[in-house]
Amino acid sequence: MAAEQPTHAPPPEGRIPGIRYRTERRERPTTVVIDGIPEDTTEPYYVQVPIPPRDWDAILLRGITAAAIGTTAVSVAWSTASIGDLLDDSTTAAVAYGAASVFDTGWIVCQGVEWLERYDQDRAKVARLAGLLALAVAVVAIVVHGRGSGDTATGLVGGAVSVIAKGLWGLVMRHYRVPLSDGAAGWLRGQRQRVAVRRAVGGEMRRLRAEDAYVTHVYGPEAREVTRPAPAPIAPPVPAVPAAPPSAAAPTPPPADEPEQAPAIVYRDPRCAAIRPLYNGGTRPGTAAMRKALKDADYGLVGDSTIRGQIRAEVEEHEPVLATYPPALPAPRTA
Residues 170-183 have pLDDT tens digits of 898 888 888 888 88
The string of pLDDT tens digits covering residues 106-161 is 999 999 999 998 888 888 899 999 999 999 999 999 999 888 888 888 889 988 99
Q: Which residue has the higher pLDDT, 2 or 334?
A: 334
| Whole-number Å distance between alpha carbons of 29 and 269 | 104
Q: Give yes or no for a contact between 48 and 21, defined as CB atoms under 8 angstroms apart.
A: yes
Q: Taking the model in full, what pTM does it have?
A: 0.50
**Mean pLDDT of the region 208-218:** 87
How many CA atoms, within 13 angstroms, populate the side-chain half-sphere of residue 123?
11
Mapped to the 3 state alphabet, what secondary structure does 69-80 carry? HHHHHHHHHHHH
Question: Which parts of 88-120 fold into alpha helices (H)?
Answer: 93-116
Contacting residues for 251 by C-beta, under 8 A, at least 6 apart: none
Q: Is 317:277 a contact under the CB 8 Å cutoff?
A: no
Contacts of 241 (CB under 8 A, 6+ apart): none
Residue 101, Cβ neighbours under 10 Å: how many?
16
Please report the pLDDT score of residue 40 as a whole number.
92
Q: What is the pLDDT, as a whole number, of residue 2?
A: 43
Spell out the long-range contacts of 84-93 with Cβ–Cβ below 8 A and sequence spacing 24 or more: 85/145, 85/149, 86/141, 86/144, 86/145, 86/148
d(CA 81, CA 83): 6
Q: State how far Cα 322 lies from the chain centre.
A: 64
